[in-house]
Structures are given as C-alpha cells and as structure tokens.
Structure 1
Amino acid sequence: MEEPRRLKRTQIDSTAGAISGAISRTLTSPLDLIKIRFQVQLEPTMIDKNVYNHAPSKYTGILQASKVILKEESWRAFWRGNVPALLMVMPYTSIQFTVLHKLKTFATGSSNISDHIHTSPYISFISGALAGCAATVGSYPFDLLRTILASQGEPKVYPNMRSALIGILNTSGVRGLYAGLTPTLVEIVPYAGLHFGTYDTFKRWTLAWTRDKSSGVHVANDSLSSLQSFVCGFASGTCAKAVCHPLDVIKKRFQIKGLKRDPKYGAGIEPYAYKNMHDAIYKISYKEGWKGLYKGIFPSIVKAAPATAVTFVAFEYTSSWLESL
C-alpha cells in the first residue's frame, strides 16, 4: 500500500512541477529576454569614468530596452528561445520538485507534505540545493540553447533551435552543449538552496501569523492561500536572485562565448575571453566595473520574483488538484 502511494506522490510532484514551470516561464519570458540582453552586453549600461571602456551601450534600462527590441525585432522577439526554455524548465522543475520531495521525505521520515513544513531551514536549504543540481544537469543543454537564441538579436545567427543545436555540435561537439555548466552549478547551489529555504521559512512564518490571527485555530492541511503562496514565493525569489545574480551573469557569458552578433549590439565575447570563473570575475570587474557583475539585476529581480511566486502557486494548486483525482 505504501509503495503505490509513493509512486503516486512522485507522479504528482513530477507533473505539477512541469506544469508550474511551463506556466511561469511563458508568462515571464519577455523579462528573461531583456535580462539576458543586459547580461551579455559588455559595454557599461551607464558611462562610468572608472571604467576604461566608454563605448555607448545598446540597452540602458528596462523600458528603453523594451522599446528598442519591439521596434527592431517585433513583439515576437520577447518570446524568442521560449521553446527550448520550455523544454528546459519543464523537466527542470519536474526533476527539482520530485527530488526535493524525496529528500525531505528521507529527512523527516514522512511523505506527507504538511510534515515537510516543519523541517529546519538547513534541511530546506540542502534539499533545495541538491534538487537544483540534479535538475540543472538533467536540463542544461536546453538552457544553453535558450540563452543563445535569446541573446543573438537581428539578423539571427541561428534561425531556430535545430540550427543552433547543429551549429554547436559542429563547432564544439557534445561538450559545447555544456559550456558554462560549472558556474551554473556553483550558482544553483546557493540559488536553489535560498529559493526553497527562504520559501519554507516565509511559509512557516505566514502559517504562524495566520494561526495567531485566528486565535490559534488550526489552518486546514497547514496550507496557504494562493495569495499567501504568491507573496512567500515573491519574497523568496527576490532574496535568492539578489544574492546570486553575479554568478548568473558569469554563466551567461560562458554560454555565448564566440557567438557572432551584429556589431550594433556591441562588442562580442571571444571564444577564449575567460579562462575560468575566477578569470571571468576579474576581467568583468576590471573592464566593466563591479557593476558589470550586476548587469540585468533589475529585470532579473522583476522577473525572478513573480516567476518564483507563480511557480509555487501553480505547483501547490496543481498538486492539490491532482491529489483530488
């Protein structure tokens, strides 16, 4: 009896994770594209006298970038790379939530989600970090393809995902599909850990506050309302992204090294621009200033916070619906 229940729980986590990831990714695609454009832009967003490179930048702000992309590439550009992004995020969130539940079940000795709320922040952090690593390795090539298609601009270097895949395999082989994997894994450990750790913490605080407001009345199934889940997810997404953004910038730089974009988008990133993560941090800081490590931070947070919120709300709603079937 226990085995079928575990199998059903795994299927629910996997399906709910895939659906919630797809919904969140599609809704926030325009902000993700703008974020990537900033991250791969070598020129300083604002002229800084302490930075040697004073060339004007293509994009200077979220609104300005939106207008330029809309004018030059049409509204469809905001969803460029969304197909590989969906192919990435659906297995990513599916694997992530499944592994997360397995790890919390192992740590607590219970497969009941309501019991997982009471796990320590350390367990939530470690479970989230390990789940993030597993999901990243399983879906990374699609993340790379998404980044390349979103950053290339017009005229396109690769017209679609298939041509990008063939181009990478021809020039770099299978290894090229994992360019930037190391900084990605270094990023995902604190990001996923903070992502789930802070969400669980905010969730416990909210449940405790709700009980206090209800004079100690038990909250049904220790569950949050959709609005409460959204607020907790919004807060956890903001915290995680604010801390880990520099690592995301480095990851994007490694992912598009050697991509030949039109000169109007600024200087390109040469194939051997960065030797390793340490070298990338040094060169970005030296050539673009410390602000270079935070390029795209505003669209990133604007995107990450609601994306995380939507993911958690969609996951919990879909999970509850599937359990009722």
Structure 2
Amino acid sequence: MEETGQLKRAFIDATAGLIAGGISRTVTSPLDVIKIRFQVQLEPTTSWALLRKNLSQPSKYTGMLQATRDIFREEGLPGFWRGNVPALLMVMPYTAIQFAVLHQLKTFAAGSSKTEDHIYLSPYLSYISGALAGCAATVGSYPFDLLRTLLASQGEPKTWNLYRSSNTNLQSREDGLSSLQLFLCGLAAGTCAKLVCHPLDVVKKRFQIEGLQRHPRYGARVEHRAYRNMFDALRRILQREGWAGLYKGIVPSTVKAAPAGAVTFVAYEYTSDWLESALT
C-alpha cells in the first residue's frame, strides 16, 4: 500500500507539473523569443556602447518594443511562437521531473516515507531539494532546450545547419494558500531567479549557437570555439559588450519570469488537486 501511494503521488506530481509547464510556456513564448534574440546578439544594444567600443554596426534589436514591432512586421504572429514545440518538449518534461523529484527528495529529507502533500522542511533542506530537483530536470530536458534556442534565434530567412552546443523554480506547497497567494509566490520566485541567473543564461545561449549560420542582418555570429569555457565566455562578453552584455534580454526575461512562475504555480496546484480528487 505504501509503495502504491508513493507511485500515485509521483504520478500526480509529474502529470500536474507537465501540464503546468506546457500552459506557462505557451503563454509566455513571445517574451522568450524576444529574450533569446537579444541574448544571441553580439553587438551592443545602446548607442553609447557602440561609440565606446568604436563599433559602427548597429544591433538588430535595441529595445523590447522595437524588437516586438520588427518581429511582427518581418515574421508575423507565428514568429513569436518560433521554437515553441521543442520548448514544450523541454519545459513539460522539465516541470514533470522537477515536481516529482522535488516531492520525493523532500519526503526523504524529512526522514519519512509518507506520501502526504504537505511536508515542511527547513529553508536549507528546501533549497537543497529544489536545487537537486532542478538539476535532474535540466539534464532530462536539455536536448530540447538546445533545439528551442536554435529555432528561436533564427529570423527570416532561416539558414539551417546541424549544430552542437538554469533556471530552477524552487516550489513547495503550503497548506491553505489562496490562488492570489500562489500567484504572488510564483511571481516573486520567478523574478528573483531570473535576475540572479540571467548572465549564466546568456552564456549558455552563446554556447548553444556556436557556428550557427544566421542571416547577416541579425548581426555577427558566434564562431566555433569562440569561448574556451564558461569563465572565458563571461570575460570576453564583459570585454566586448560591457556589463550590459551579460544582461541582454533582461527586460523580456524578467517580464516573462513573473507570469511564467505564477502560471506554473497556480496551474500545478489546480491540476494536482483535480488529479487527487479523480484518483481517490
């Protein structure tokens, strides 16, 4: 009976996470596409940066509203959902693995094999459990993250080739939280995580598009082996693009993180409660 209960809990967590991730990703896809376009753009996005670096070539995208307008004009509405299918294939398993692993780790950390929904841990154990769950989810979904980045970074006309190459939402369920409270928790968690991790996300995107053939109007491409490692990438981006280079796309990323985290929280809770009722 105990094993059956654990399997049921894992199924509920995984299924609710999968559905919540799919809803959140589809709703916020336009902001994600805009964010990636900025992150893979090597040219500085401000006029003063261009003058300081003695660069004459302007960047394709200079602001969130300008990028939105240009993408819509050049690629139409579907351009904002470019790469959404592999994004769903990435995010849905990611959130499914994350929620399922997180609950099991929290149960283990609490020193209990029980399958109750509400397990209370110290902040340190909650952080470690969330981090490990995020790592497991990242490993399981990374190939689709790579494909999503390649598709989203392509403009029109598309140039194709074969390529090579964390965002962890720490979520814990609390008893009696309203939908508004869940929404606010998701908003705060998503925003803080993006602000802290954004430079590493920029570096990840640069590695993912090494050697990618792109239309010249989208700017210089990242050549093969442009960066030796993560620290070399950080140093080179700082040298050429300044601190602003590490935060390219931070506006759409932050705007996206808030509703994405909030929608994920709320959708997960409602889906989880519905599945529990249906399986009782």
CA shift for structure 1 position 3 = 1.3
- Where does residue 139 of structure 1 map in the other structure? 141
Return the match for 1:244 from 193, 197, 212.
197
1:235 aligns with 2:185: no
1:309 aligns with 2:262: yes
1:62 aligns with 2:64: yes
CA shift for structure 1 position 54 = 4.6
Deviations 1:39-65 (Å, cap 9, x if unpaired)?
A: 001111112244343521111111110
- Where does residue 23 of structure 1 map in the other structure? 23
Aligned length: 274
Please give the alpha-carbon distance, in whole angstroms, between the structure 2 residues aligned to 1:153 and 1:10: 40
Unaligned runs of 5+ in 1: 159-163, 169-175, 180-187, 205-221
Instruction: Identify the structure with bigger relative contact order (alpha carbons < 8 Å, sequence gap 6+).
Output: 2
Return the match for 2:229 from 248, 268, 276.
276
Return the match for 1:53 from 52, 55, 65.
55
CA shift for structure 1 position 94 = 0.6
Q: Cα RMSD over matched residues?
A: 1.4
Deviations 1:204-223 (Å, cap 9, x if unpaired)?
A: 6xxxxxxxxxxxxxxxxx13
TM-score, normalized by length of structure 2? 0.94
DSSP 3-state at the match of 1:305: helix
Return the match for 1:119 from 113, 118, 121.
121
Supply the AA of the counterpart residue of 1:112.
E
Percent identity of equivalent pairs: 66
Name the structure with the higher helix share. Answer: 1
Structure 2 contact 185–262 (Cα < 8 Å) conserved: yes
CA shift for structure 1 position 226 = 1.3
Unaligned runs of 5+ in 2: none
DSSP 3-state at the match of 1:153: coil
Please give the alpha-carbon distance, in whole angstroms, between the structure 2 residues aligned to 1:77 and 1:140: 23
Please give the alpha-carbon distance, in whole angstroms, between the structure 2 residues aligned to 1:111 and 1:123: 18
- Where does residue 36 of structure 1 map in the other structure? 36
Structure 1 contact 284–293 (Cα < 8 Å) conserved: yes
1:299 aligns with 2:266: no
Please give the alpha-carbon distance, in whole angstroms, between the structure 1 residues aligned to 2:88 and 2:159: 21
Please give the alpha-carbon distance, in whole angstroms, between the structure 2 residues aligned to 1:87 and 1:52: 42
Deviations 1:240-295 (Å, cap 9, x if unpaired)?
A: 11011000000000000101111111111111211111110111000001110000
Structure 2 contact 43–58 (Cα < 8 Å) conserved: yes
DSSP 3-state at the match of 1:119: coil
Please give the alpha-carbon distance, in whole angstroms, between the structure 1 residues aligned to 2:115 and 2:183: 24
Structure 2 contact 5–115 (Cα < 8 Å) conserved: no
Matches within 5 A, 1:1-325: 1-47=1-47, 48=49, 49-108=51-110, 109=112, 110-114=114-118, 116=119, 118-158=120-160, 167-168=162-163, 176=164, 179=165, 188=166, 191-192=167-168, 195-196=169-170, 200=172, 222-325=175-278
Deviations 1:69-93 (Å, cap 9, x if unpaired)?
A: 0001111010000010111111111
